[in-house]
Amino acid sequence: MEAFYVVGPCRLSGNVRIHGAKNSVLPLLAASLLCRESCELTNCPDLSDVHTALAILQALGAPAQREKDRIVLSPWDGTVCEIPEELMRRMRSSIIFLGAILARAGEAALSLPGGCELGPRPVDLHLQAMRALGATVREDHGKIRCEAPGGLKGAQIVLAFPSVGATENALLAAATASGTTVLENAAREPEIEDLAGFLNACGACIRGAGESTIVVEGVKRLSGASYRVIPDRIEAATYLAAAAATGSAITLVDVIPRHLRPVLAVLQEAGCRFSGRGRVLSIEAPARLSRIHSVRTMPYPGFPTDAQAPVLAASTLARGTSIFVENIFEERYKHVGELLRMGASIRVDGRVAVVEGVERLSGARVQAADLRGGAGLLVAALAAQGETVLEGVCHLDRGYEHIEDALCALGAQVKRRVMEG
Ligand code: UD1
């Protein structure tokens, strides 16, 4: 078991390059299953979730080769169409492979992702979309079996909630279905646009990605393409929160600032100033943040739930009271108990967290319970006085590539060590 040993407080300065988006590369790897020719993805982050996705491709018999940030995917023969349960359990978002396997092989079998550290993780909207496209879906003892021997057929699908994963699965399944699919109340996240961009580069015909209504004209087959993954807006938001918490000035390189708008608005309200051009964004944080009136997590273009924990951690040191309302996932305040042990003052009631800013945090031994909560604890540790031992680094490794090296290059003291005792 590894832990981060962080000595704070630090002042960060310099440049940090943002990696490709985890939440884009996973559906793009799933999309490669639809392609009849080789695909090349560049700007792929080196993360444990990406390793799991590659293990799923391998289990399906779809070969992939990785060299640095480039992954080359050879066409899949579509014979093995079951994802082993161990891989489904390792990464809940493995469900994202469902639409592509079903579309290409005419059947798919996987186990239910069940609950996770963020609370229940239902897949009803994913299955509803598959049914609408003509698949029969059977759920039995935690296993899902989908079949569409005659192929999928375009349909009108209205999602009850703009789920990111269900939108992606619907696009993957509809891309090669016969006829037209109209997907309403679709998620509008940048990663949806990225998936549609890749599928279109492979010959799909998808219009409206990034808007609430997406129209897919099914095509017979997809070829291959070479495609660059968009930058990770959540990794970027985490570095911005780290700068905000420590009164620092840093520059992010290779970001799309438009994807970060709701995060920038909140940090601006707290007194941070932003500048930059093109894909470069600089933040200059005040010595002490002002309070943030209210942050409500919402589907894009609202404030991302994944940025809640890092920004909440920064607000623990602000002057005044900040309010957070978590509207997307239950159980997304697991970092709060650990922040209290560092001296923060936070009350949680259901979906609402009330943060009374304190003048200082102090280092403590804390435990990450999930990916973004862990990122929040790391942000707090950078700003806290003394040493913090952050356990549960495996959660951070799911979504941040060598974050300790990047933070050290910015002037922080973070060491990864195998835990003592
Ligand atoms: C994706 C992201 C995750 C992010 C989340 C919300 C990936 C790999 N992960 O997760 O980092 O936090 O979007 O921006 O891209 N829901 C249902 N039924 C369903 C599906 C979802 O009720 O069938 C609910 C969920 O319980 C949750 C909400 O919808 O409350 C949003 O979930 P969703 O948008 O599907 O998130 P993911 O795609 O799982």
pLDDT, one tens digit per residue, over 248-259 is 999 999 999 999
CB of 168 within 6 A of ligand 1: the answer is no
Rounded-to-10 torsion of CA 408, 413, 414, 417: 120
13-26 pLDDT, tens digit each: 999 999 999 999 99
**Spacing, Cα 274 to ligand 1 middle (Å):** 30
CB of 306 within 6 A of ligand 1: the answer is yes
Q: Please calculate the CA angle 119-356-377 and round it to the nearest 5 degrees.
A: 50
Q: Whose CA is nearest to atom 1 of ligand 1?
A: 164
Tokens 């570095």 belong to: 239
Average pLDDT over every residue of 54-65: 96
CB of 338 within 6 A of ligand 1: the answer is no
Average pLDDT over every residue of 198-226: 98
Q: Does residue 352 surpass a pLDDT of 80?
A: yes
Classified as helix, coil or strand, 322 is: strand
DSSP 386: E
pLDDT of residue 245: 98
Instruction: Tell which atom from ligand 1 comes closest to the C-alpha of 234.
Output: 11
Instruction: Tell which atom from ligand 1 comes closest to the C-alpha of 330.
Output: 30
CB of 332 within 6 A of ligand 1: the answer is no
**Spacing, Cα 386 to ligand 1 middle (Å):** 37
Q: Which helix (H) or strand (E) holds 172?
A: helix 164-174
- pTM higher than 0.75 for the full model? yes
pLDDT above 70 coverage of the chain, percent: 97
Q: Whose CA is nearest to atom 4 of ligand 1?
A: 306
Give the confidence band of 225 by pLDDT, cuts at 50, 70, 90.
very high
Cα separation, 400 vs 370, in Å, equals 12
CB atoms within 10 A of CB 415: 11
CB of 188 within 6 A of ligand 1: the answer is no
What domains lie within the chain, and their CATH numbers? Answer: 2-18+231-418 (3.65.10.10), 22-228 (3.65.10.10)
Closest CA to 47 of 93, 98, 5: 93
Exposure class string for 74-102: b at 16+ Cβ within 10 A, else e: bbbebeebbbeeebbebbbbbbbbbbbbb
Cα separation, 158 vs 242, in Å, equals 39
CB of 324 within 6 A of ligand 1: the answer is no
**Spacing, Cα 394 to ligand 1 middle (Å):** 21
pLDDT of residue 419: 80
Active site (catalytic) residues: 116
Q: Where are the alpha helices (DSSP H) in 63-155?
A: 85-90, 98-105, 124-132
Q: Whose CA is nearest to atom 7 of ligand 1?
A: 23
Q: Whose CA is nearest to atom 13 of ligand 1?
A: 164
CB-CB contact of 421 with 389 (8 Å): no
pLDDT of residue 141: 85
β-strand pairing of 365-367 with 386-391: parallel
74-122 pLDDT, tens digit each: 999 999 999 999 999 888 889 999 999 999 999 999 988 755 665 667 8
**Spacing, Cα 101 to ligand 1 middle (Å):** 20
**Spacing, Cα 45 to ligand 1 middle (Å):** 21
pLDDT of residue 421: 60
pLDDT of residue 140: 87
Which two tokens mark 413? 């003291």
CB of 270 within 6 A of ligand 1: the answer is no
Average pLDDT over every residue of 1-28: 97
DSSP 385: B
Instruction: Tell which atom from ligand 1 comes closest to the C-alpha of 189.
Output: 14
Q: Whose CA is nearest to atom 15 of ligand 1?
A: 23
Exposure class string for 210-233: b at 16+ Cβ within 10 A, else e: beeebbbebbeebebbebbbbbbb
